[in-house]
């Protein structure tokens, strides 16, 4: 009897985890719509203030984003959480405006953006596949990733003043590695029951993919960008 209960319990847990994973991927796909709309609008906007006051703009944007994160977390169990998440992805799409404007003004800008998007997709599918099929617990990476993201944010804010091209490239490369690790960590948490709320799971994965794309785009612009 106890063995049957344990088997049913495991099956119930697996069903719940699979449901969270399916809902997460469905909502993740939905977030691409407001992101793309926001990006198109952002490319036609004037970000002169951001160019003149990059540090203030970065701090202000981070404050707004973390406020949105808190609001989504507070409404994680309601449909309002989904609405707030889609609103956040629209704002993040707008913030892609400056980097996309810069990239597409390069001679091979469209190719670079395409490579960044394609590379992001390949990395995501590969790492998500590894985490899903192996079901290995990558939760041990959590502390290292947290320390890494803090150091990356501090170094990125410092480089706003320093403006060192080599440092920009290095930070972009570190970002690619770091956010790839976050994808592995995020999917692993869902598969192994560490995250049971699909809205929060989607938020974590979306941010990892978004930052992977921007890091990869910055890296490719630094390595391949040409104005000729």
List, as one string, the DSSP characters of 126-167.
HHHHHHHHH----GGGHHHHHHHHHHHHHHHHHHHHH--HHH
Residue 151 zone, left/alpha/beta (φ > 0; ψ -120 to 50; rest): alpha
Residue 61: band (very low, low, confident or very high) from pLDDT cuts 50, 70, 90:
confident
**How high is the pLDDT of residue 17?**
80
Nearest to 144, CA basis, from 192, 169, 181 = 181
Single pTM value for the model: 0.87
Residue 202: band (very low, low, confident or very high) from pLDDT cuts 50, 70, 90:
very high
**Full residue range of the structural domain in which residue 164 is found:** 2-224
Confirm if 132 and 187 have CB atoms less than 8 A apart: yes
Residue 13: band (very low, low, confident or very high) from pLDDT cuts 50, 70, 90:
low
Q: How far apart are CA 222 and CA 82, in angstroms?
A: 36
DSSP assigned state of 69: H
Residue 228: band (very low, low, confident or very high) from pLDDT cuts 50, 70, 90:
low
Domain count, the chain: 1
Confirm if 98 and 42 have CB atoms less than 8 A apart: yes
**How high is the pLDDT of residue 14?**
64
Confirm if 96 and 39 have CB atoms less than 8 A apart: yes
């Amino acid at each position: 009897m106890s063995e049957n209960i344990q088997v049913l319990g495991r099956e119930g847990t697996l069903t719940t985890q699979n449901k969270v994973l399916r809902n997460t991927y469905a909502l993740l796909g939905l977030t691409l719509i407001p992101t793309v709309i926001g990006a198109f609008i952002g490319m036609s906007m004037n970000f002169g203030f951001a160019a003149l006051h990059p540090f203030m703009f970065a701090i202000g944007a981070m404050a707004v984003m973390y406020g949105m994160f808190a609001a989504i977390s507070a409404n994680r169990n309601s449909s309002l959480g989904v609405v707030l998440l889609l609103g956040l992805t629209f704002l993040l799409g707008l913030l892609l405006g400056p980097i996309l404007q810069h990239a597409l003004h390069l001679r091979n800008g469209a190719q670079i953006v395409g490579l960044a998007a394609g590379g992001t997709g390949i990395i995501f599918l590969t790492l998500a596949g590894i985490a899903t099929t192996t079901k290995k617990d990558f939760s041990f990476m959590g502390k290292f990733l947290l320390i890494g993201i803090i150091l990356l944010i501090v170094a990125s804010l410092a480089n706003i003043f320093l403006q060192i091209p080599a440092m920009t490239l290095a930070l972009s490369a570190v970002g690619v590695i770091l956010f790839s690790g976050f994808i592995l960590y995020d999917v692993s948490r869902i598969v192994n029951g560490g995250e049971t709320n699909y809205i929060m799971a989607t938020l974590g994965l979306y941010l990892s993919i978004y930052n992977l794309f921007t890091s990869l785009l910055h890296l490719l612009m630094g390595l391949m960008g040409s104005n000729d």
